[in-house]
Structure 1
Amino acid sequence: MKFTNIKKGIAALTVGGLLFSCQDLTEIDKNPNSPEDVSSNYIMTYVLSNTGKTFFSLGRDGSKIGAAMQYMQAGTNEGAAVINQYAWTQESWNGYYEILRNNQLIYDKGIKENNRFFQAIALTMRSAVFGLLTDLYGDIPYTESLKASSGLFFPKYDEQAVVYKGIMTDLKQAVTLLNSLESKDAVNPTSDILYKGDGKKWRKLANSLRLRYALRLSDKRSEMSALGVNIQTEFTEASADAFTSNSDDASMAFVGASADNSAPGGPLNSPNPNFLLKPGQPFVNKLIALNDPRLQRWIQPVQRKWDTKVTKETTVTVKNSYGESYSVVYVPTTATNVDTSLYVGLPVGLAITQAVAYNKGNDATAYNNERNPYISFLHERYRKNTDTYVPMNIITYSEVEFILAEAALAGSFGATDAEGHYKKAIRASMDKAGVFTASYDYEKYYAQPLVSYASASNKLERIMEQKWLSSWFGIESWFDWRRTGFPALKAGDVAQFGKALPIRYMYPSPNQDPSYLTNYNSAVERLGSTNYIPSGQSKDHPYAKMWLIQGTSKPWN
């Protein structure tokens, strides 16, 4: 696969809408379409927006990770094999490398023009995207990638430790560059759709990513030390200047003006509203048990609610904490096998015949399979082109506080006050979800025995459970679960490879060129076999262990 080729007609040009004026045709030695003639500001907009969309799409409704973390389930046969059964197939990485190719242009031009700001932005985004790739797949093309112009079309797959070392090195260099910015090191604020040219916020982002990866590598400290990376030092340095509020979030909003800049679930991208995907029961039930106000931001009430207190069907107008009204039909029942909650999630891993009929009880009405009224729908905001509470997040302040809480609990990263960070993390997530636009008593929520840090018998599990809730439709919870085993999620009955959740993405279908196959096979051979890989199948499998979790009992043996 020639993922190092520079794409003809560079995509960044279309994003920037760059127009070239007429030129003297005698200047045939100048190519106005050559990438080196493109302003980095135009390319930066492309890199930032597409990185944001990539992170968003990996966790959104209908995604593999969203399903694995049981944020949602398929309520019909469409997509059920992947979502409910974890029958994951090979996944292309062309989009990631296209972002990286364009990002490399920013870095190279930053070097050529001695612009430290562009260099630092490119190093930070390079780390975010390469970090995402290795988190998903394991060993990846890294040191030899992006070199097609030099004739290197089939780069080797670097070992994961080498990739992580490069990420930590690049992020540290980015911080150094951002600490030495001068007035000449400028970017166009309108092109920087993330931070509007604010170098201090970019420095906080680089440091926050250092925290993410230092914690990710906490079980591999000795191996990283052998490569010259001191995880303890990296964490300590980064924590001194990382995110300190939600205003620091590496977060972008969908514009909602065209299909390219709108949320995937909105009418510009999805003409038919998506009702086949249902919120997952484990997630919904946990929010209900905690009386968590984020439930009403993310999930809608059922349209028909079983109720033991009514004697005939009664239509009730239900208003949530945010003033949103829903018409709900309360249906009388004496049955004990139906869910009488106002918010009902779909159990994990049901056979499709069961999923379609779930919670319908003795109601024989032939409802459209997608619109079973006895199961909640995702909130309507996930069927809009843009919404305040549906952003593209790369990393958030809430995540940083959860990282600091876990580090303080571990006691080996110099962080202290685990409970203080844990409490700030939850509050930051709630603030981002708009909980405090309504009158809400956070202290009362936090004091609950199932939320309070002090009342937890397993404090790591408590931290990771709340981080899972706060990561709704995000991807970090999957990486955390893979590393810690928390939250203790269970696969459903139809899981294809047994009672376990998948732990990696499969490589793209290998190019049959001998050079490519040699590199691919070497990477596959380094993966660790597990009992969930059927005999005779390749180790390029969703249940193979990458280096990051080899030698551990996590998330399962």
Structure 2
Amino acid sequence: MKNKHTVLILLLTVFISGCSKIDQLQDDPNRTTEVTPELLLTNIEISAFNNVGTSAALACRHLAYTDGVNSDQYYNWQRSGFGNYDYLKQVSKMVEEAENNELRIYTSLARFFNSYFIIGLTQTFGDIPYSEAIRATESTFSPVYDTQEDIYLAVLNDLKSASDELTESEESILGDIIYDGNVLQWRKLINSYYLRVLLSLSAKTGNDQLDVVNRFREIVSNPSRYPLMDSNADNGALLFHNIETNRYPLFQNNGLQTAFYMEKTFVDRLKETEDPRLFSFAEITPNAKKQGLAEDDFNAYEGLRGSAPLDENVQVTVAGDASRIASRYYDDPENEPGLLMSYAELQFILAEAASRGWINGNTDEFYTEGIKASMEFYGIPEADINAYLEKPGAQLDPQNEIESILIQKHIAMFMNTGWQIFYEQRRTGYPEFDVSGGGVLNNGRVPKRWMYPSKEQTQNPQNLEAAIKRQYPEGDDINAEMWLLLEE
């Protein structure tokens, strides 16, 4: 299977080399004007599932950086980009080719990918172009901004349609490097992701149109119609291989080898609960190595405060008292897969839903299963998992169940799943991100969003200005609260 996937990726790489936009692909007379939907699917999957990176890890207090003042770590970011629209163009092209070849199953998958990429954009900015941006002709350069509420309504309907259509489909999926054409696993992923989107609307349970709680219950109460992930085997995961262009994205990354250290509040939490995942995430400190401490000795690990001034952190590293990120993240060309969504995350979603009273079920059982799944993903032996689950610090706090759940979700998403854990913390306030040090910018605040791309100010100024005025009285500000976060 790996060889088949590799050939598909290499073929696709040759085909789209030097071209990231579908309109360029169509306009170049020296390139083929036709491509099968399965080749497009492969590239779309790589874009969606490769959620490995350091920026979110710095912002979410997983890591700290020592080669300069990092804007993600110190909360001084400003603008983000509209790059997801390039992926949406590829999805649109896949739909076009699927319709030309009467392959409806790719249209169903396109509903999922459209939803995934557009949710990423709206969670970044707030209101964004959607209806016109996706369906407009090439001559439309100034699409209107849809409200975040309308976007979420459309996404929920599309995800439900995708799930229902796949239930009835008997077509094969070619070009699939995630589930190798297994339609049941795609249904599980889409339904599980649907629950993620619903949970992100936890402040909107009073909105009758969204009908968040009833939608959530409909999925969970009907597993035969809407199956969910059953184990880590169902993870939405992109495997990496020791082949050129297929390796782990941070393989041989020089900066990762020298300038990325574990964040102190994160390390302290893992040490306090004696969480063996620490040994998978980090190296022991240079001083611990000199002292001959073992790699499974929690005293051998220390972190840097993400909120501390850069010079303070540099002093700690020079003194040999900080743990670097584990070498597997830059030495292993395969390492762990990139995750769009995991079985562990689903269990934490169900735990939070049960805690909120949305569904029947034992919150503690979902919570415990999420921890187990996370530890199994990181290769923790069963005996160590069972020992950890017996520790007082690992128990679900009955006085603040959601905080316990989000802390475990934060651990499970270390260096993976993109910015998802940031959005979860933004939504709930848990776990608290340390801003107590003197290095934090943005007046000591964790931003709520990113400013719109500067190109929009010249290419689509009227619609941009209308969207900003509609949402943010204070203007296009990183601390402004989008509709998604306002209680209703």
| 1:347-496 superposed matches below 5 A | 347-358=305-316, 367=318, 373-384=320-331, 386-389=333-336, 391-411=337-357, 413-436=358-381, 440-453=383-396, 455-474=397-416, 475-491=419-435, 492-496=437-441
Residue 471 of structure 2 corresponds to 527
Taking structure 2 as the reference length, the TM-score comes to 0.88
User: 2: distance between equivalents of 1:45 and 1:205?
Assistant: 17
Q: Does the aligned pair in 1 maintain the 2:178–2:236 contact within 8 Å?
A: yes
Q: Deviations over 1:113-172 (max 9, x none)?
A: 332321121111111111111112211111011356441112112111111111111111
Q: Percent of aligned pairs with the same residue?
A: 25
Q: Which runs of 4+ in 1 moved over 4 A?
A: 31-35
SS of corresponding position for 1:305: helix
Aligned position for 1:186: 172
Matched, 1:284 2:248: no
Residue 122 of structure 1: SS of its match in structure 2? helix
Alignment partners' CA distance in 2, 1:511 and 1:132: 18
Deviations 1:298-336 (A, max 9, x none): 101001139xxxxxxx65263449xxxxxxxxxxxxxxx
Q: 2:228 aligns with which of 211, 234, 242?
A: 242
How much does 1:519 deviate? 1.1
Instruction: Report the CA distance between 1:273 and its aligned residue.
Output: 5.2
1:299 equivalent to 2:302? Answer no
Residue 100 of structure 1 corresponds to which residue in structure 2?
88
Matches within 5 A, 1:148-297: 149-182=137-170, 185-188=171-174, 191-223=175-207, 225-226=208-209, 229-239=210-220, 240=223, 241-258=227-244, 260-267=245-252, 270=253, 274-297=257-280
Map of 1:28 onto structure 2: none
| Rounded Cα–Cα distance in structure 2 between residues aligned with 1:410 and 1:44 | 37
Q: CA deviation at 1:292?
A: 0.5
| Structure 1 residues 315 and 459, CA gap change in structure 2 (3 angstroms) | closer
Contact 1:107–1:123 under 8 Å retained in 2: no
The AA in structure 2 aligned to 1:291 is E
Gap change, CA 1:388 and 1:305, over 3 Å in 2: closer
In structure 1, distance between residues paired with 2:138 and 2:10: 23
CA distance in 2, matches of 1:72, 1:290: 19
Partner of 1:4: none
Rounded to whole Å, the distance in 2 between the matches of 1:342 and 1:217 is 41
Which of 1 and 2 has higher RCO (CA within 8 Å, sep 6+)? 2
Does residue 71 (structure 1) correspond to residue 62 (structure 2)? The answer is yes
Amino acid at match of 1:88: W
Match of 1:146 among 134, 156, 160: 134
* Runs of 5+ consecutive residues of structure 1 not aligned to the other structure: 1-11, 20-30, 307-313, 322-339, 361-366, 530-537, 553-557
Structure with greater Cα Rg: 1
Task: State how far apart, in whole Å, the 2-side matches of 1:107 and 1:222 are.
Answer: 35
Residues 47 and 385 (structure 1), Cα distance of their counterparts in 2 relative to 1, 3 Å cut: farther
Q: Separation in 1 of the partners of 2:125 and 2:246?
A: 27
2:478 to 517, 538, 542: 542
Write the distance in 2 (CA, Å) between the matches of 1:504 and 1:547. 11
Gap change, CA 1:271 and 1:374, over 3 Å in 2: closer
SS at 1:132's partner residue?
Answer: helix
Mean CA deviation greater in 374-383 or 149-158: 149-158
Work out whether 1:316 is the aligned partner of 2:295: no
1:132 lines up with 2:120 in the alignment: yes
Indicate the residue corresponding to 1:8 in structure 2.
Answer: none
* Superposition RMSD in Å: 2.4
Distance apart, 1:193 and its partner CA: 0.6
The number of equivalent residue pairs is: 460
**Inter-partner Cα distance in structure 1 for 2:146 and 2:10:** 31
1:111 corresponds, among 99, 103, 113, to 99
**What per-residue deviation string (whole Å, max 9, x for no partner) do you get for residues 272-293 of structure 1?**
6532121110111101111101
Q: What is the letter of the counterpart of residue 482 of structure 1?
A: R
